[in-house]
Chain A
Amino acid sequence: MAGTEVLGRVSWRTGKVVALHDETSTARTIALVVSDWPGHIAGQHVDIRLTASDGYSAVRSYSIASAPNSDQRIEITVERLENGEVSPYLTQEVMVGDEIELRGPIGGWFVWRSDQTEPIQLVAGGSGIVPLMAMIRSRLESQSNAQFQLLYSVREPAAAFYKDELEAISKRGDSLLLTYAFTRITPKGWPRPPGRIDAALVSVSVWPTDLAPTCYVCGPTSFVEHVNGLLIAAGMDRGKIRTERFGSTGERK
């Protein structure tokens, strides 16, 4: 991606909402067109600023879900938090045509570039799937042959984002190996009882260490710590694990 390697100073921009799509009963994808968008790299985030009529403003970070493109268009997927200051507005009130203030793209480390050829291990907890989805979409768009594997931990089947798209991508030959870990409720007849990701699951659904994969782990802080520990215990090189934490509340500040 020429032009996105160096980001320069990041400024506040205005995005216009062009489409809304519910991913689950509590999460919504918001597509924005940002006229002066400089382009992004899969894995980057934006800061969104909402300002009340009394001048009070709140800023939250949201990962970009869409692949890099030249259409000045980005998508974010927002999970609603009951006591959130920003997410209830973004998931329930925002309408097509509204303008939203945002800053970005931000971040140059938790990113996947289409010239990376090594095997990629993705591990998502809940809404931590969002930046990893951008990487999966970017891989497809760029016709990369990098081997991708995703281990996606969700509370229950109905809580999974991008379900049909992930299913379709994983069925396209060698595109993506996909494993779900359900922590509370599993689909009927699911072989593994509900539970967190553990060493046994890591041993069968993460690339072996001799392939030297780069790992991207994203989710709530406690999830990231847990998975990071499992990957290191499995012999993964610390320097090849990149993490992005959402905090215990799930809403990044």
Chain B
Amino acid sequence: MNANISYLDGNAAGGELSRIFNVDLTAAEGQCVNCGTKGRFADAHLYVDCPGLVARCATCDHVLLRLVNTGERIFLDVRGMAYLTTRPVQS
């Protein structure tokens, strides 16, 4: 087996994303701006061995999302996704 494969999947970002959003985004469907693949955020490849989290498209490896939490500020870059859609919170 290849021991160098270091990514996890979008599920593992659920906790950090929940600090910003009040809906679960792991089940949300998004589209990669680079290759056009539509998929669940949970299926993205997530790299955690870096300052913050980087999610990449499982098909083309394009960066979908970057999330850095310095403790004082949270930085979120989602320009790799054309959209992200999920059901709203029902009260």
Residue ranges of A at the interface with B (Cβ–Cβ < 8 Å): 5-10, 45, 47, 59, 61, 103-104, 106-110, 196, 220-223, 225-226, 242-248, 252-253
**How long is the Cα–Cα vector from A243 to B42 in the complex, in angstroms?**
8
Shortest Cβ distance from B22 into A: residue: A9
* Given contact pairs A221-B5, A222-B5, A109 touches B15 in the complex (Cβ within 8 A): no
Are B7 and A245 in touch, CB under 8 angstroms? yes
CB distance from A30 to the nearest CB of B (A): 18
For A59, list chain B residues within 8 Å (CB): 15
Q: A45-B11, A244-B11, A247-B6 are in contact. List 4 more A-B contacts (CB 8 A).
A: A106-B26, A223-B1, A242-B42, A252-B8
**How long is the Cα–Cα vector from A242 to B10 in the complex, in angstroms?**
11
What per-residue 1/0 map shows which CB atoms of B59-74 lie under 8 Å from chain A?
Answer: 0000000000000000
* Given contact pairs A109-B40, A221-B7, A225-B5, A61 touches B15 in the complex (Cβ within 8 A): yes
CB distance from B69 to the nearest CB of A (A): 11
A107: which of B1, B2, B11 is its contact (CB, 8 Å)? B11
Complex A-B: 30 CB contacts under 8 Å:
A5-B90, A6-B23, A6-B87, A6-B90, A8-B89, A9-B19, A9-B22, A10-B19, A45-B14, A61-B12, A103-B18, A106-B11, A106-B14, A107-B24, A107-B26, A108-B24, A109-B27, A109-B41, A109-B43, A110-B26, A110-B42, A221-B5, A222-B2, A242-B42, A245-B8, A247-B7, A247-B48, A248-B3, A248-B5, A253-B8
